[in-house]
Amino acid sequence: MRQILVIGSGKSSAFLIKYLLDQSAVESLKLTVADKYIENASRLMNNHPNGKIIPLDIFNENARYNLIKKSDIVISMLPAHLHIDIAKDCLKLNKNLVTASYVSDDMQALDEKVKAKGLIFLNEMGLDPGIDHMSAMKALDTIRETGGDIHTFESYAGGLVAPESDNNLWNYKFTWNPRNVVLAGQGGTAKFLEEGQYKHVAYQQLFKRYKTLNIEEYGHFEVYANRDALKYQNIYKLENIKTLYRGTLRRAGFCQAWDIFVSLGMTDDSCIIENSADLNYREFVNTFLPYHPSDTVEHKLQKQFNMDSEHPVWKKLETLDLFNSNKYCGLKKATPAQILQNILMDTWSLSENDKDMVVMYHKFGYTLAGKNHEIISTMVATGADSTYTAMAKTVGLPLGIATLAILNKRIKQTGVQIPISKNIYDPTLAELEKNGIIFNDTVIF
């Protein structure tokens, strides 16, 4: 039996574990899931005969090393900054590695050593990054093969709540790591190309500089710029591109309201609020507002952002119970971002039977035989419940598919890789289609 080790069993692991267990008899697999907290893994594994759960503190170097040593391939589902220790163990032990995270500088620095050992460390094999790469490269390569000259590429994705479970004014619930949602956009200045001009958007401006988008059958959305799109100019071989933009999707009205938190400093994760455990929600909000001997918290906030109690943004803020003096933050030595996350989880957590929705949207503009053409490609996936979510499906399935392809030597590249080559994206997208993750293309002109 071939041994697969999955390290981490958080929100995105449900479909990964299910897919590998479903394939385990035919593919001769034994699946070990290791995590510090095994309750979720136990529930997902459900006593499957080809599965095993092991408690693991990933900072216990000997325990981690020995687990990896017994495995044929490792999938790291840990937060991105924790992959590197796993990667170094895999390198020492000659084990292949798969992750869903962006390639870090530390990971990229291992490239030559990974190649020298004939291994592959396949990263960015989830949703975004992951399915976005594969679906984009398939379309871009097809356009190039027909002789098209690509001048526009825009790619947007978002994890959202499905319409049937959408019952708050923000039209949003947490479908992946809440911490990442609160800190979204803080990884550096967003960069992109627009009609041949380089654009840079600092975090403080990010949620003010959103685009609007309508997707037929699914309604109105907003898009804010996602990280550094310029690096994909080289990766995607788009030397002559005029517009290159990557963005995150939210429902209409979200960005203006979220910008209140950014402007106040509530998403700051760099400073500690000394008396955080003793603050109630109302006092927490007041921390970010100027002193006034008589004005209420509500009035100070309304005055600062020039809105009244009928403003749509104000109504969104009220639904979060931000002005409640009977609810306490309860976190010791917490950052504003940690407290805000705690508050949001009161109303933004998925209920057991809630369904989420993942939306991905690509726009390709190109010239062929002297004429301009445009293709819109969309993918919408809906989850089954709060465990088997669309987010878990679109992150976990590509990981599982790639893991089997590496084990079966269908992926033969070595080094630190991302899924942009045809021998990775073609079979992966085909397998995803079998599992209901399908892109629909519309030719505009």
Tens-place pLDDT, residues 278-331: 999 999 999 999 988 889 999 999 999 999 999 999 999 999 999 999 999 889
* pLDDT range class, residue 388, cuts 50, 70, 90: very high
The C-alpha angle 408, 387, 352, rounded to 5 degrees, equals: 170
Q: What is the pLDDT of residue 187?
A: 79
Give the other-Cβ count within 10 Å of 372's Cβ. 12
Helix (H) or strand (E) holding 422: helix 422-434
Residue 153 main-chain phi, psi, to 5 deg: -140, 120
Please give the share of the chain, as a percent, with pLDDT higher than 90: 87
Flag the least confident range among 117-121, 184-188, 270-274. 184-188
118 and 24 in a common domain? yes
Closest CA to 224 of 197, 170, 184: 184
Is 421 within 8 Å of 122 (Cβ atoms)?
no
Q: Is residue 444 part of a domain?
A: no
**What CATH number has the domain bearing residue 423?**
3.40.50.720
Q: Is residue 194 part of a domain?
A: yes
Alpha helices in 349-421 (DSSP H): 390-407
Checking if the pLDDT of 15 tops 90, the result is: yes
Please report, as a single letter, which amino acid is at residue 67.
Answer: L
Give the other-Cβ count within 10 Å of 258's Cβ. 26
Q: Is residue 290 part of a domain?
A: yes
Helix (H) or strand (E) holding 246: strand 243-251
Q: How far apart are CA 420 and CA 426, in angstroms?
A: 10
360 and 243 in a common domain? yes
pTM confidence score: 0.90
Closest CA to 6 of 132, 25, 40: 40
Radius of gyration of the CA atoms of the chain, in A: 23
Q: Is the dihedral of CA 145, 146, 151, 153 positive or negative?
A: negative
Distances (CA, A) of 263 to 127, 279, 282, 289: 29, 21, 17, 11
Q: What is the pLDDT of residue 135?
A: 96
> What average pLDDT score do residues 347-375 get?
94
- Report DSSP state, residue 229: G
Alpha helices in 236-389 (DSSP H): 254-264, 281-286, 297-304, 312-318, 336-348
Q: What is the pLDDT of residue 217?
A: 85
Place of tokens 């399908």: 438
Helix (H) or strand (E) holding 428: helix 422-434
DSSP string for residues in 119-184:
-EEE---BBTTBHHHHHHHHHHHHHHHTT-EEEEEEEEEEEEE-GGG--STT---B-S-HHHHHTT
List beta partners, residue 149: 367
298 and 228 in a common domain? no
Q: Tens of pLDDT along 351-361?
A: 989 999 999 99
Is 246 within 8 Å of 192 (Cβ atoms)?
yes
249 and 152 in a common domain? yes
Q: Is residue 339 part of a domain?
A: no
Bridge-based pairing of strands 2-7 and 29-35 is parallel
418 and 292 in a common domain? no
**What CATH number has the domain bearing residue 230?**
3.30.360.10
Q: Is residue 263 part of a domain?
A: no
Q: Is residue 266 part of a domain?
A: no
Is 361 within 8 Å of 376 (Cβ atoms)?
yes
244 and 198 in a common domain? yes
Is 161 within 8 Å of 430 (Cβ atoms)?
no
182 and 219 in a common domain? yes
The domain boundary, picked from 289, 304, 334, lies at: 334
Q: Tens of pLDDT along 27-60?
A: 999 999 999 988 888 999 989 999 999 999 999 9
247 and 374 in a common domain? yes
320 and 198 in a common domain? no
Q: Is residue 346 part of a domain?
A: no
The domain boundary, picked from 305, 334, 363, lies at: 334
278 and 186 in a common domain? no
Helix (H, G, I), strand (E, B) or coil at 294: coil
Q: How far apart are CA 372 and CA 406, in angstroms?
A: 40
Parent domain of 140: 131-258+352-388
Distances (CA, A) of 93 to 29, 64, 90, 114, 117: 20, 12, 5, 11, 10
93 and 52 in a common domain? yes
Q: Tens of pLDDT along 58-101?
A: 999 999 999 999 999 999 999 888 999 999 999 999 999 999 99
Q: Is residue 156 part of a domain?
A: yes
* Six token digits for residue 216: 């037929």
The structural domain count of the chain equals 3
Q: How far apart are CA 9 and CA 387, in angstroms?
A: 12
Calculate the dihedral angle through the C-alpha atoms of 333, 322, 389, 334, rounding to the nearest 10 degrees: 0
376 and 238 in a common domain? yes
